[in-house]
Amino acid sequence: MTVFELRGGCVALGGREILHDVSVSVDSGEFVAILGANGSGKTTLVRTLVGLVPLSAGTLEVFGTPLARFRDWPRLGYVPQRLSVGGGVPATVREVVASGRTGRAHRLRRLGRADHAAIDHALEDVGLSHRGSDAVATLSGGQQQRVLIARALAGEPEVLVLDEPTAGVDADSQDTLAGALGHLAGQGGSVVLVAHELGPLADLIGRAVVMSGGRVASDGPPPEPEGHHAHVGHIHTHAHETHDRGHPSVLEPRTFDR
Amino acid sequence: MSFLEYEFMQRALVAAVLVGVAAPAIGTFLVQRRLSLMGDGIGHIALTGVALGFLLGTAPVLTAIVVAILGAVAIELLRERGRTTGDVALALLFYGGIAGGVLLIGLSPGGSSATLVSYLFGSLSSVRPTDLVVIAGLSVAVIGVVAVFGRELFAVCSDEEVARVSGLPVRFLNILVAVTAAVTVTVAMRVVGLLLVSALMVVPVAAAQQLSASFRATLVGACAVGMLASVGGLVVAFYADVAPGASTVVLALGGFLVAALASQLRPVR
């Protein structure tokens, strides 16, 4: 079954085309990494896949349904790139994770047993069960990133889309993260993630889509770790040099929550 | 207690309890969204509504509520379109609201800027029996919105994009917050006044969050602080003969100071 089917996708933001004729398809059970330099369109691509950025041309189907008619949102989990969790009011780790369940919950009913079980599992998966009642702001950056992932997992999605989940995350959290994603993949779930450095995720990745200048530069098995030069950092460096020099104005739009 | 011997004080007291609970309840979501000043903006716009009521010879509360809701929806739609242009657009709406209010009251027969003062800072004697019914109904509606949609509002106010991808009706919920805030502003205008209504939506939240780790505890604590401040403010206003809005907000700020000091002694985990 196909999770995402993007054909000839073009995206323009602020009058500038960011993605040019991108075709990517993700099957159920796949673990796909989107790689590429800063400004290559990775983030825009995943934001397009989850319906946050409209296509200016091309078509997108999600679970076989054109995006405009897609209603089965709980099947999708999304972990945006955020510097920290939460807004202006304190919230506990459990409250934030539970909010990921809202799409599946009934408006007029309290959360049921299945909801609480899913929230418990999500907290367990990211190793934060013992921090449930702590204010999320008291957690480290890596732990907050894990909270964001738990929030998505609490909705029990079939596919998880993550934007740079490992950016600025300590080694312990990266390992926990890899464990949680491995667990999801082991249960038949699909994962699409944007990454700059793969770290402990490298072993999980079955396919790498490398973006460059808003186009798919390559799509296939992940680069074999063959000494220093085969690392993702290598791709990153070269893409920067060859591409960014030609298009100095291409910068990826990002939304950060303060 | 002697102040309860007066019927207008009994009415004002009931109104203060209701407004004291309703304003921080919706205010918590505005603070969560980092839109603490939205209530302020709506208050400015509502002033035009009040003056319009005087000009047309209808109840100022009714015109205020209509204009406040229109203004709040406009603010929300501007916010949705982006931050840079939204910021200035909001400022234009706010100033337009105050200027429009003063202009319209000047044009209305027998009206002057002084007429607006009781709406700007609240007035004890202004709560009439029919007002009380309206205030009670609308306060219950505001609290009902928070009770029914609270979970979804928390999700949207915490992370709008994730809420969108979870399939929540984000635009509906955003407009619901805006309209509920507008209703709260007009309900609270009699008790604390339009210029200070936003304070009753925000200051109790700021106080409660000094001592709590959770959103729910902040929400409940803010409602308690809001109620104590508005009831206490009313009593102070009665005995000291000052505008209730001022005494209420000063009490709420006192609550914030106490909570902030207490949190230094007992840090939140």
- CB count within 10 Å of CB A143 equals 22
Question: Residue A42 above 90 pLDDT?
Answer: yes
Rounded to whole angstroms, the Cα distance separating B173 from B203 reads: 23
Q: Give, in degrees to the nearest 5, the angle at Cα B259 between B253 and B264.
A: 130
Q: Which residues from B are below 8 Å from A96, CB to CB? A: 158
Q: Is B111 or A122 the better-scoring residue by pLDDT?
A: A122
Q: Please report which confidence band the pLDDT of residue A225 belongs to, taking 50, 70 and 90 as the band edges.
A: low
Q: Is it the case that residue B20 has pLDDT exceeding 70?
A: yes
The domain locations on chain B are: 2-198
Return the minimum-mean-pLDDT range out of B83-87, B118-122, B246-250: B83-87
Residue to test with chain A: of B162, B211, B220, most A Cβ within 10 A: B162
Lowest-pLDDT range, A184-198, A244-258, B76-90? A244-258
Contact (CB, 8 A) for B245 and B227: no
What are the chain B neighbours of A74 within 8 Å (beta carbons)?
Answer: 166-167
Rg, C-alpha atoms of chain A: 18
Q: Shortest CB distance from B31 goes to which of A82, A89, A138? A: A89
**Shortest Cα–Cα distance, A106 to chain B (Å):** 10
In three-state form (DSSP H/G/I as H, E/B as E, the rest C), the secondary structure along chain B is CHHHHCHHHHHHHHHHHHHHHHHHHHHHHHHHCCCCCHHHHHHHHHHHHHHHHHHHCCCHHHHHHHHHHHHHHHHHHHHHCCHHHHHHHHHHHHHHHHHHHHHHHHHCCCCCHHHHHHHHHCCHHHCCHHHHHHHHHHHHHHHHHHHHHHHHHHHHHHCHHHHHHCCCCHHHHHHHHHHHHHHHHHHHHHHHCCCCHHHHHHHHHHHHCCCCCCHHHHHHHHHHHHHHHHHHHHHHHHHHCCCHHHHHHHHHHHHHHHHHHHHHHCCCC
Helices B113-121 and B38-56, axial angle in degrees (round to 10): 140
pLDDT score recorded for residue B83: 59
Q: What is the pLDDT of residues B177-233, one digit of tens each?
A: 999 999 999 988 888 899 899 999 999 999 999 999 999 999 999 999 999 999 999
Average pLDDT for B104-130: 82
Residue-wise pLDDT for A121-135, tens only, equals 999 999 999 999 999
Mind listing the pLDDT tens digit for each residue in A84-95? 787 889 999 999
Second CATH level (architecture) for the domain B2-198: Orthogonal Bundle (1.10)
The answer to whether the CB atoms of A73 and B268 lie below 8 A apart is no
Retrieve residue A136's tokens. 């999320």
Provide the phi-psi class of A156: left if phi over 0, else alpha when psi is between -120 and 50, else beta. left
Residues of B in contact with A86 (CB under 8 A): 158
* E strand residue ranges, A63-134: 65-66, 76-79
Contacts of B269 in chain A (CB under 8 A): 134-135, 138
Which residues lie closer than 8 Å to B260 by C-beta, 6 or more apart?
Answer: B207, B210
Strand partners, A86: none
**Mean per-residue pLDDT, A14-43:** 92
Please enumerate residues of B whose Cβ is less than 8 A from a Cβ of A.
28, 31-34, 36, 148-149, 151-152, 154-155, 157-159, 161-168, 205, 209, 212-216, 218-219, 268-269
Report the pLDDT value the prediction gives residue B86, as an integer from 0 to 100.
63
- How many Å apart are CA B201 and CA B18, to the nearest integer? 13
- Pick the closest to residue B247 from B228, B259, B227, B232 (CA basis): B232
**ipTM for this prediction:** 0.89
Residue A31 structure tokens? 């673990």
The pLDDT value given to residue A226: 53
**Interface A:B, Cβ pairs < 8 A:** 104
**Helix H or strand E encompassing A189:** none
Query: Which residue in B162, B171, B181, B174 sits closest to B45, CA to CA?
Result: B181
Domain A2-81+158-246 has CATH 2.30.110.10: no
User: Does the structure show a pLDDT above 70 at A55?
Assistant: yes
Residue A247 has pLDDT above 60, yes or no: no
Residue keyed to tokens 């934007």? A163
